[in-house]
Amino acid sequence: MLPTLGFVVLWTSPKKTDNMLAMSEPNPTLVWETITAHQRSAALKAGVELGVFDALSKGPITAAELARNAGVAERPMRILCDFLAVHGLINKADGHFCHTPTSAAFLDSHSPASMAPTLPFLMNDKLIKATHLLTETIRQNRTALDEPLAGDETREWVTFARTMQPMMRTAAEFIAGVILRAGMPAKVLDVAASHGLFGITVARLAPQCEIVALDFPSVLEVTAENARAAGVRITLLPGSAFSAELGTDYDAVIVTNLFHHFDRTDNITLMKRFHAALRPGGLMVILEFVPNEDRISPPVPASFSLMMLANTPGGDAYTMAEYCQMLDAAGFGTREIIDVPGSAQQLIVASA
Amino acid sequence: MLPTLGFVVLWTSPKKTDNMLAMSEPNPTLVWETITAHQRSAALKAGVELGVFDALSKGPITAAELARNAGVAERPMRILCDFLAVHGLINKADGHFCHTPTSAAFLDSHSPASMAPTLPFLMNDKLIKATHLLTETIRQNRTALDEPLAGDETREWVTFARTMQPMMRTAAEFIAGVILRAGMPAKVLDVAASHGLFGITVARLAPQCEIVALDFPSVLEVTAENARAAGVRITLLPGSAFSAELGTDYDAVIVTNLFHHFDRTDNITLMKRFHAALRPGGLMVILEFVPNEDRISPPVPASFSLMMLANTPGGDAYTMAEYCQMLDAAGFGTREIIDVPGSAQQLIVASA
């Protein structure tokens, strides 16, 4: 007779890893999955780097063929692909691997929506290191990175500019639509312009509009390249959003994924600068991760806070109530929040 | 009129992250969750290191109180706890955090089943580094770590011995039951004894049995400590399973979580040594992660392959068919596989 256990354990197949299941019975699989979750990130990156997802576009394929394709041995490729299949990133049937709808749309670089090109930024060494330093970061109440990923010119922002367009295309089209809905703009400021896609998309729909792209000099080289490739004219404004001469009389200021890097005081400073640059009634259009007031939903915007905790001195994912306080303090008038279709992000539109 | 997208996107709330959902529609949230999964591991570790889960035992508590308790600022604690709640590891209601059944059972160190003590091994720097080196490991077809986590004496095995008992208690009781089912043993060899729990559990139920614990000298210090604390006598056999003089006439050889570190050739070498040490009809009792023949189910054993890929020169999670081949080659007779209740692992029992 074995001793009995004083608790119920369930090492059954994990079917969910979110809030929904956390409720009923103790689930050691959830703990194990979380302890080992870093392997999922690494496996996805390895799959991209070794051409696994691209090779699946030709149809079902064996680990041996994928290994030959990547110039590696079969054993590690088989283990990688099995792992990707366990975690729902690819399919396996009869010893052959093939795309899921998700991997076909978002991991195969043949797809226009592929997120594979974003990995050199989203999984760069600094971001991974920041995650590894999380406890120390919490103790310091600021990133434990020596060189934070926030308001300074670092090479990661050039990587960002070179890689992040695929995730921003939908939002760029949506933002341009929102700006044009208010009338044909004559002058638009694209703050932290990066790849330039937001300004470029406006320029395509409003060819007479002057687009001013603000970013660090090293980043604006990428902006300029992309504008040339798109056949649109962009005015380059090198510098920091905190100190550059922004100019005045803008119909719209586009502020995408900037405020989450800073604390509220810094954001109010920035918002006041943008307010002063707008014509009366002009629009500040903010693209952001905006969690609900409970701060634990929806999962993607709510989780984004931790990325800012890990990588910045004082950033956060702010709720709409917090945005309203900051907008009030900076003198903005009406504001609305809109879900961006096909994105986990929201648009906050505030009028000067 | 905005341009339409050539694909369907669903940035809705993620409800599942496993194979089940990978089928129907493209799900960018799954990709985003996988890219950022390393943050889930780090958040769990930070929660343990900062006493979050232990503090929840007193009932609902605010981030401010948790922060005071840990001696850190409120902002980073609030972000950490919200993140843990998003990912189902704790609950949040009315601004207060509290245990889920899972965190109470497996993350609060007051619980006898807590996995918190295992983190110094399961999330040690070397394991995390190995994950980070995955692509290079696949290219080399062996861990890219300078000092692999396999058959050599490294300080991680001392950490393992000091931390991994909580995850092994259930299995140790089950294994002892299986051995005693075959008759009261006189002599049992506990290979890679580590914390010693497997041998100690047998010793408690069979006080006349000689337990021989084989492990590296630095590890056996922990084994001896634990045996003393448990009030049982253990014979210490320092050395490697590949080269130590094992002795003969064992009724059972317990081989827990060893074979997954090595390739099949090495495992056959080891099995032959264990076969020679057993009396005729004696049992080799193997505790392992044994995936199904499809190698993608169940999720925990199937995923374990990747941990061995990342950390060892040639390890793997072997299927039962592969174990049968190795057992045949080593001269073993009948064998059975048993699910270990309350564990993601299986027991393979083979007779000499």
Question: Which ipTM was obtained for this model?
Answer: 0.92
Q: Is B215 left (phi over 0), alpha (psi -120 to 50) or beta?
A: beta
Confidence bin at B16 (pLDDT 50/70/90): very low
pLDDT score, position B23 = 52
State the Cα–Cα distance between residues B141 and A87, nearest whole angstrom: 22
pLDDT reported for residue A12: 31
pTM: 0.91
Q: Looking at CA atoms only, how far is residue A95 from chain B in angstroms?
A: 8
Establish if B40 touches chain A: CB-CB under 8 angstroms. Answer: yes
Between chain A and chain B, the number of residue pairs with CB atoms below 8 A apart is 363
Please write the tens of the pLDDT for every residue from B53-76. 999 998 899 999 999 999 999 999
Q: Which of B118, B128, B131 to mutate to test the interface with A (most CBs of A within 10 A)?
A: B131
Partner B contacted by A64 (CB < 8 A): no
- Residue numbers in A near B19 (CB within 8 A): 85-88
pLDDT tens digits along A272-306: 999 999 999 999 999 999 999 999 999 999 999 99
Q: Parallel, antiparallel, or unpaired: how do β-strands A346-351 and A335-339 relate?
A: antiparallel
Is B136 an interface residue toward A (CB < 8 Å)? Answer: no
Judging contacts by C-beta atoms under 8 Å, the chain B residues touching residue A135 are 45-46, 49-50
Digit-coded pLDDT (tens) for A218-249: 999 999 999 999 999 999 999 999 999 999 99
Grouping H, G, I as helix, E, B as strand and the rest as coil, residue B61 is strand
The answer to whether residues A326 and A308 touch, using CB atoms and an 8 Å cutoff, is: no
Q: What pLDDT does residue A147 have?
A: 86
Nearest to A196, CA basis, from A216, A156, A225: A225
Is A181 in CB contact (< 8 Å) with chain B? no
Q: Where are the beta strands (DSSP E) in chain A?
A: 91-93, 96-98, 187-191, 210-215, 235-238, 250-256, 278-288, 335-339, 346-351
CB contact under 8 A, A296 and B44: no
Mean pLDDT computed over every residue of chain B: 91
The residues, ordered by sequence, that sit 6+ positions from A94 with a Cβ below 8 Å of its Cβ are: A60
Tokens 């700006």 sit on residue: A179
In contact, B38 and B85? CB cutoff 8 Å: no
Hey, is the C-beta of A45 within 8 angstroms of any chain B C-beta? yes
Mean pLDDT along residues A118-139 = 95
Q: What is the mean pLDDT of residues B98-121?
A: 93
Q: Once rounded to an integer, what is the mean pLDDT over residues B176-180?
A: 97
Q: What's the CA gap between A61 and B108, in Å, rounded?
A: 45
* pLDDT reading at B276 higher than 60: yes
Whole-number percent of chain A with pLDDT over 90: 82
Average confidence (pLDDT) over A40-49: 98
> Which burial class, exposed, middle or buried, applies to B150 when counting CB atoms under 10 A from its CB (0-12, 13-18, 19+)?
buried
Determine, for residues B101 and A11 on separate chains, whether the beta-carbon distance falls below 8 Å.
Answer: no
